[in-house]
Chains A and B, each alone.
Chain A
């Protein structure tokens, strides 16, 4: 399954909301889609799994939704520490795959 994220880069200011998209080339089994945040030089951090379940410790401003082929990740009000790269990931069937990433940049 190929995952295509959009946009590649999103320029926003702190306090604004962000919406990231992830489209799969075919339906993802049981909405087994996760979202990760990665900062430079760091390992990825799981934020959302099962399309919409926040991982332990994930702030409530982060949310995920979607099913089938279309998934969305949202940040309600951006904090300075949220500017990073975000990846979607499907684990519904092998081979597992990641999207190419969306870079969230400060305007």
Chain B
């Protein structure tokens, strides 16, 4: 069974940093691209970042570019999101998701339950 489990969400002060993790299991992690998607309270879905299966291709939403960095450790089936210079607008539930297929650009078939990030003084 495919599982994605996010961790690392917390209450952090404006300007602070946080590192989220996503542990994958039940599939060959290194075969699939991964995404981070967030959802602010009461709002819609916002795509945050994409990383291809071997990290050759990485991209970010304009709203986080230069502040967030995604990476992966295929040996340990882990995905990371390093978030720096956090602001109120980054408060959200953060989901990791796995691509539907092994194609580079693909929809998101599997999702974790999310980890909450709150940026507040």
Interface size on B, residues (CB 8 A): 22
Task: Classify the interface of chain B: helix, strand, loop or mixed.
Answer: strand
Q: Is A23 an interface residue (CB 8 A)?
A: no
Interface size on A, residues (CB 8 A): 25
Binding site for A on B (CB under 8 A): 35, 37, 44-47, 50, 59-62, 95, 100, 105-109, 111-114
Binding site for B on A (CB under 8 A): 32, 34, 36, 38, 43-46, 49-50, 55, 85, 87, 89, 91-101
CB distance A43 to B44 under 8 Å? Answer: no
CB neighbours (8 Å) of A55 from chain B are 100, 107, 109
CB neighbours (8 Å) of A94 from chain B are 50, 59
17 inter-chain pairs at a CB distance below 8 angstroms, sorted by A residue, are A34-B107, A43-B111, A44-B37, A44-B111, A49-B106, A50-B107, A87-B45, A89-B47, A91-B105, A91-B106, A91-B107, A93-B105, A94-B50, A96-B50, A98-B37, A98-B46, A99-B44
